[in-house]
Amino acid sequence: MPEDRTLRTKRLKMADIARMSGVSISTVSRALSGSPLIPEATRDMIAEIAKDQGYVINPFARGLRLQRTQTIGVVIPLGHGGGQLITDPFFLEMLGRLADEITLRGYEILLSKIAPPKPGWLDRLIQAQRTDGLVIIGQSDQHEALNLAAEGYPPLVVWGAHLPDQTYCVVGLDNVAGGRMATEHLIGLGRRRIAFLGDPNLPEIGQRHEGYLAACRHAGLVYDPKLDAPVAFTARTAEEAATRFVAEHKDFDGLFAASDVIALAAIDALKRSGRRVPEDVAVVGFDDSTIAAHTHPPLTTVRQDLALAAKLMIDHLFERLDEGRPMGTTLPPELVVRGSTVAA
Amino acid sequence: MPEDRTLRTKRLKMADIARMSGVSISTVSRALSGSPLIPEATRDMIAEIAKDQGYVINPFARGLRLQRTQTIGVVIPLGHGGGQLITDPFFLEMLGRLADEITLRGYEILLSKIAPPKPGWLDRLIQAQRTDGLVIIGQSDQHEALNLAAEGYPPLVVWGAHLPDQTYCVVGLDNVAGGRMATEHLIGLGRRRIAFLGDPNLPEIGQRHEGYLAACRHAGLVYDPKLDAPVAFTARTAEEAATRFVAEHKDFDGLFAASDVIALAAIDALKRSGRRVPEDVAVVGFDDSTIAAHTHPPLTTVRQDLALAAKLMIDHLFERLDEGRPMGTTLPPELVVRGSTVAA
DNA sequence: CTGAAAGCGCTAACAA
DNA sequence: TTGTTAGCGCTTTCAG
């Protein structure tokens, strides 16, 4: 197995392979790209020499020439709280799924964390021409920037909320339905004082919040802004808010959290404050992360199918790399009932 | 804010900025790279025009010329089980931490999943010259390949086990100590029939297994190979093995799992088989993933500090990008005791 | 201080 | 069927 030898010191270029094969550079180029102009025998001979030598085409040179990079950019804009770190299991799992889909299609993945997004960040990403297309995980507060960029740059797909005036391609859950579903579940269990935990300035959370409000209204519950805290995607703020709810509102008996991480943090805080879950307060999360099924109590949550979501996003992206202009897909939410709302 | 305008249709190049600024391309190049040859006034003028136009240097052209990419490759070799997907929270969290550290230093991240590693995979990655350096998450079964590649390629850092004949730079836990620690904890609780779950062909797991054996031996326990199952990092195989243990070994009372994911799957299986955790079987995991603190019961586990690990890896990598040749760091494991071994 | 020009490694007319 | 050649967009000698 020649390619298992120790690494040759020199980086080879096509000219080296050409010399070794006794042909010109163009012939090597054509042979390695499988051009029908080159007879099979020559092609195989060159391919073998290249392989033996461990030669790999320099993607920068190739990219410069072809104006294609064989790379998809995966971008995580962190416009809100959560500090600078990518830690929420939701992002991480989505990233893993996207990586699988992109690799499957023979593309490379360039990962960018934008924290915080500064004016022009998306333009710069596009202008740099480092990638053939862009997948944005989460709109954050960048709806306007996305709308502007999408006008002149088709290969862009976003995970997030569907917004009325949006001109870019979005794959996302029906968050209003998800929020309604979660809240109706709590109401159906007889809960009447239902709190909300999550930052509605983020489009997805805003829509989950809408669903929450709609469900409350429909059931004739009074909306109490004191039970509605715009916490970020971090454990700390969620714990503080939950602790405050307990202290200030003895009668609150239900909680809809905008993510599983928030829900877990809140449950911890509730327990510490002496409330039982689900007996005193029933809790619903959002995402159905891997954790949700294993927590104590197991978390009732709204499931997002990230494997499917990632596949759809990349499918759409590749259509857009051609002539297609799919405008996105809305996925149905699914309520997964577990012990945090219904005692086992 | 000019850069918030809609995207210009045309991709600009340096020549365009040169024309607009009334200078030559070389001057623009020098100005944008902050060369002291250019007077500040000219430099600012050019920088402003470039910014106004949303111009960004083409990294492929620059990379081709400079033979530097400003990119670090993060590689996940999946030589073993776990199928083709990146799903284990350990990988995902490590990836997130690395991304933070790399971004911090102004480098881009190229993410590669290698599943399964084929002969020459590492050479090809290196030869492609797409990255200035490589971080490998987990040795998988690629110790030999890493050793060979490291000879001629300094900017390589690996997360994994320290092996005696290793020539590459490794950051990793003292896994033997971790395994011993976990097992001694179980023994200290009076457990005598302790099972192991994990594939010792992976170097890290092999060392945890060594620690497990050493602790058992030291305590005078008889080693029973029937309580030692080489399961992969997936829930399914772990559940099967745990179920089998229960069926075939009525007296087994302790379990050391090579990862938290394995531990959780095993706990599920144990519960389904009617065993109580920790009363009937005490369970220790490994990793202290975010989940561990929230499971039922909360998981006793061996903590790996991934934030620190990621920082060390990237520090070492950048030293190696210069003249430094750090050979790695061994991190101390830390036992976190929770409810899966000691009832609350 | 500034510009002209060579060349990084590759692909694709265009010629032969 | 193959080779010659002109760039892709940038940096950097070298010459003013």
For B120-146, write each residue's pLDDT tens digit: 899 999 999 999 999 999 998 899 999
Helix or strand holding residue A343 (H, E): none
What pLDDT score was predicted for residue A80? 63
| Identical fold, B71-172+305-331 and B175-304 | yes
| DSSP assignment letter at A290 | G
Query: Is any Cβ of chain A less than 8 angstroms from the Cβ of B344?
Result: no
Taking 80 as the threshold, does the pLDDT of residue B85 lie above it? no
Average pLDDT along chain B:
91
Pick the closest to residue A204 from A229, A184, A236, A174 (CA basis): A174
Query: Is any Cβ of chain A less than 8 angstroms from the Cβ of B13?
Result: no
pLDDT, tens digit (0-9, with 9 covering 90-100), for A74-129: 999 987 654 555 677 888 889 989 999 999 999 999 999 998 899 989 999 999 99
DSSP-based three-state secondary structure for B231: coil
Q: Is nucleic acid strand D under 7 Å from B64's C-beta? A: yes
The confidence band for A7, taking pLDDT boundaries of 50, 70 and 90, is: very low
**Using CA atoms, how far apart are residues B29 and A200, in angstroms rounded to an integer?**
45
Helices (H), chain B: 14-21, 25-32, 40-52, 59-66, 89-104, 121-127, 143-152, 175-188, 203-218, 235-248, 260-272, 306-321
The C-alpha angle with vertex B119 and arms to B113 and B122, in degrees rounded to 5, equals: 50
**Using CA atoms, how far apart are residues B229 and A83, in angstroms rounded to an integer?**
41
**Using CA atoms, how far apart are residues A261 and A235, in angstroms rounded to an integer?**
7
**Nucleotide D9 C1' to residue B182 CA (A):** 57
The pLDDT of A42-48, averaged and rounded, is: 95
**Using CA atoms, how far apart are residues A293 and A300, in angstroms rounded to an integer?**
8
Q: Is nucleic acid strand D under 7 Å from A67's C-beta? A: yes
Query: Contact A192/A221 with Cβ under 8 angstroms?
Result: yes
Q: How far is CA B37 from CA B18, B30, B31, B62, B207, in A?
A: 16, 8, 8, 20, 57
Which sequence spans correspond to the domains of chain B?
Answer: 2-66, 71-172+305-331, 175-304
What pLDDT score was predicted for residue B3? 37
What pLDDT score was predicted for residue B40? 94
**Using CA atoms, how far apart are residues A285 and B29, in angstroms rounded to an integer?**
52
Q: Which residue from A minimizes the CA distance to B84?
A: A100
- CATH number of the domain at B2-66, please? 1.10.260.40
Helix or strand holding residue B195 (H, E): strand B194-197
CA distance A253 to chain B (A): 22
**Using CA atoms, how far apart are residues A101 and B32, in angstroms rounded to an integer?**
37
Query: Contact B287/B90 with Cβ under 8 angstroms?
Result: yes
DSSP-based three-state secondary structure for A57: coil
Mutate to test the interface with B, among A109, A111, A260 (most CBs of B within 10 A): A111
Taking 90 as the threshold, does the pLDDT of residue B291 lie above it? no
Residues on chain B touching A103 (C-beta within 8 angstroms): 112-113, 115
Residues on chain B touching A60 (C-beta within 8 angstroms): 60, 63-64, 69, 129-130
Query: Is any Cβ of chain B less than 8 angstroms from the Cβ of A153?
Result: yes
CATH architecture of B175-304: 3-Layer(aba) Sandwich (3.40)
Average pLDDT along chain A:
91
Percent of chain B topping pLDDT 70: 95
What pLDDT score was predicted for residue A294? 85
Taking 60 as the threshold, does the pLDDT of residue B2 lie above it? no
Nucleotides of D under 7 A from a protein CB: 1-5, 7-13
| Class at the top of the CATH hierarchy for domain A71-172+305-331 | alpha beta
CA distance A199 to chain B (A): 22
pLDDT, tens digit (0-9, with 9 covering 90-100), for A178-237: 999 999 999 999 999 999 999 999 999 999 999 999 999 999 998 899 999 988 777 788
Query: Is any Cβ of chain A less than 8 angstroms from the Cβ of B69?
Result: yes
What pLDDT score was predicted for residue B237? 83
The confidence band for A4, taking pLDDT boundaries of 50, 70 and 90, is: very low
